[in-house]
């Protein structure tokens, strides 16, 4: 719900006003095809499920480890970095919100693309951070030269959301080389769907000001557990920890910590379910292209697709919703012609294809 009330009492003048982020719907009905929030259709690792089933409720008497040591250790081992280079939080929304608060305290505007994750302007507004949105080029790509201006920081997702487009390491390196004096955050929420060696984690030893964020919500099928992390230089992580400990020391609960460790340790399952989604994504993309859809090349677990004229994205979105198929549609000018369709199971995508064949 967007705010708000007319400010007519004097106490209301002291209320911090923001226009909140609007997450995708979480419909209550069963038997729907839910492709609107980029969740993973496959269950989390069976190892994580075992941990949850066996979790000793007695442990909840105690506060969780504020340093989230076990999970940070297993993430550090997984990526071959030090535990002191890993910050853990309650979803990337928590990690990114903390990062905005920690690193973007300057007077110059923070730069991010237009289109991108619509939470970035919300955190900027919340923390009173000036920002400038840099339009993507005509093919929805980031042009590093457009970022060559004085700024207080840079952030973008890679692959970008909602476009699904992946930018190469060369593009990111160019932005990093242009901006040694501010923190550059690469939000890698969807990077596991972009292939081996797609991440810029390997640039961290070269750039003390590079922070990379990751989440368990997409590739690890654990959106409900709220687990995410950031990797960067020890200095960046120390600064983040200091802010986190000045706000809420116990963000991550003991149940999620235990299940998260089990997920990281089950690499085989993880890779398998990521591969399934990539295969389904590529097949689905081909199929809807032959139906006349314009589909941006996706390296994520969703596609950004515009239906063929005379159909509009909004019309298809509403019709699909009536049939219990949920997509995401954004009304902003550049996103308006497109639907963002999360990749579900093969069966779910076949039902979507049937719906398109009937309606389009």
Smallest gap from Cβ 70 to ligand PMP, in A, equals 19
Are 73 and 83 contacting, i.e. CB atoms less than 8 angstroms apart?
A: yes
Stretch near ligand PMP under the rule CB under 6 A, chosen from 86-94, 125-133, 285-293, 322-330: 86-94
Q: What 3-state class would DSSP assign to 199?
A: coil
Q: Per CB under 6 A, does 298 bind ligand PMP?
A: no
Taking CB atoms, the residue at the shortest distance from ligand PMP is 91
Taking the C-alpha atoms of residue 211 and residue 99, their distance in angstroms, rounded to an integer, is 9
Smallest gap from Cβ 168 to ligand PMP, in A, equals 18
Binding mask 242-281 for ligand PMP (x = CB under 6 A): ----------------------------------------
Q: Per CB under 6 A, does 91 bind ligand PMP?
A: yes
Smallest gap from Cβ 292 to ligand PMP, in A, equals 27
Rounded to 10 deg, the angle between the 254-265 and 267-290 helix axes is: 80
Bridge partners (DSSP) of residue 211 are 185
Question: Which tokens hold the place of 78?
Answer: 């997984």
Smallest gap from Cβ 331 to ligand PMP, in A, equals 17
Smallest gap from Cβ 213 to ligand PMP, in A, equals 7
In terms of CB distance, is 328 or 356 closer to ligand PMP? 328
In whole angstroms, how far apart are CA 216 and each of 164, 245, 263, 270? 18, 22, 9, 11
Are 24 and 37 contacting, i.e. CB atoms less than 8 angstroms apart?
A: yes
Smallest gap from Cβ 299 to ligand PMP, in A, equals 13
- In DSSP notation, 295-357 reads EPPP-SSEEEEEPPTT--HHHHHHHHHHTTEE-B---STTTTT-EEEE---HHHHHHHHHHHH
In terms of CB distance, is 304 or 356 closer to ligand PMP? 304
Class of residue 164 by CB neighbours under 10 A (exposed 0-12, middle 13-18, buried 19+): buried
In terms of CB distance, is 161 or 341 closer to ligand PMP? 161
Smallest gap from Cβ 93 to ligand PMP, in A, equals 4
Q: What 3-state class would DSSP assign to 13?
A: helix
The residue count for binding ligand PMP (CB under 6 A) is 12
Stretch near ligand PMP under the rule CB under 6 A, chosen from 88-96, 264-272, 316-324, 343-351: 88-96
Residue 22 CA, chain-centre distance (Å), reads 14
Bridge partners (DSSP) of residue 214 are 229
Stretch near ligand PMP under the rule CB under 6 A, chosen from 128-136, 215-223, 261-269, 322-330: 215-223
Write the Ramachandran bin of 141: left for phi over 0, alpha for psi from -120 to 50, otherwise beta. Answer: beta
Stretch near ligand PMP under the rule CB under 6 A, chosen from 11-19, 79-87, 91-99, 339-347: 91-99
- In DSSP notation, 75-93 reads HHHHHTS-GGGEEEESSHH
Binding mask 179-208 for ligand PMP (x = CB under 6 A): --------x-x-------------------
Smallest gap from Cβ 15 to ligand PMP, in A, equals 25
Candidates 157, 164, 307, 344: give the one binding ligand PMP (CB under 6 A).
157
Q: Which residues inside 111-150 make contact with ligand PMP, applying CB under 6 A?
A: 117
Q: What 3-state class would DSSP assign to 251?
A: coil
Taking the C-alpha atoms of residue 120 and residue 264, their distance in angstroms, rounded to an integer, is 28
Q: Per CB under 6 A, does 92 bind ligand PMP?
A: yes
Are 191 and 158 contacting, i.e. CB atoms less than 8 angstroms apart?
A: yes
Q: Per CB under 6 A, does 228 bind ligand PMP?
A: yes
- In DSSP notation, 172-183 reads HHHHHHH-TTS-
Q: Per CB under 6 A, does 217 bind ligand PMP?
A: yes
Candidates 39, 93, 192, 348: give the one binding ligand PMP (CB under 6 A).
93
Residues that bind ligand PMP (CB under 6 A): 91-93, 117, 157, 161, 187, 189, 215, 217, 223, 228
């Amino acid at each position: 719900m967007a705010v708000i009330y007319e400010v007519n009492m004097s106490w209301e003048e002291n209320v911090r006003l923001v226009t909140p982020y609007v997450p995708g719907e979480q419909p209550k009905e069963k038997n729907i095809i839910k492709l609107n929030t980029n969740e993973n259709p496959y269950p989390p690792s069976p190892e994580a499920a075992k941990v949850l089933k066996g979790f000793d409720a007695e442990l909840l008497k105690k506060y969780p480890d504020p340093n989230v040591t076990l999970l940070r250790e297993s993430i550090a081992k997984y990526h071959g970095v030090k535990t002191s280079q890993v910050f853990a939080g309650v979803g990337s929304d928590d990690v990114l919100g903390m990062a905005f608060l920690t690193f973007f305290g300057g007077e110059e505007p923070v730069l991010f693309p237009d289109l991108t994750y619509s939470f970035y302007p919300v955190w900027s507004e919340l923390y009173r951070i000036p920002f400038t949105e840099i339009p993507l080029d005509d093919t929805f790509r980031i042009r590093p030269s457009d970022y060559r201006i004085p700024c207080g920081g840079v952030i973008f997702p890679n692959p970008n959301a909602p476009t699904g487009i992946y930018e190469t390491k060369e593009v990111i390196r160019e932005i990093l080389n242009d901006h040694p004096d501010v923190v550059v955050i690469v939000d890698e929420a969807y990077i596991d769907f972009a292939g081996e060696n797609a991440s810029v984690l390997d640039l961290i030893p070269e750039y003390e000001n590079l922070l990379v964020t990751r989440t368990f919500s997409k590739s690890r099928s654990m959106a409900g557990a709220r687990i995410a992390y950031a990797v960067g230089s020890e200095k960046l992580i120390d600064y983040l920890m200091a802010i986190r400990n000045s706000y809420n020391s116990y963000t991550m609960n003991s149940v999620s910590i235990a299940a998260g460790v089990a997920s990281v340790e089950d690499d085989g399952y993880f890779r398998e379910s990521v591969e399934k989604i990539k295969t389904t994504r590529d097949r689905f993309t081909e199929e809807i292209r032959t139906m006349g859809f314009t589909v941006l090349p996706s390296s994520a677990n969703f596609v950004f697709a515009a239906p063929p004229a005379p159909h509009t994205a909004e019309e298809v979105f509403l019709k699909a919703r009536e049939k219990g198929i949920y997509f995401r549609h954004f009304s902003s000018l550049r996103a308006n012609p497109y639907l963002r369709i999360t990749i579900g199971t093969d069966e779910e995508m076949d039902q979507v294809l049937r719906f398109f064949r009937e309606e389009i």
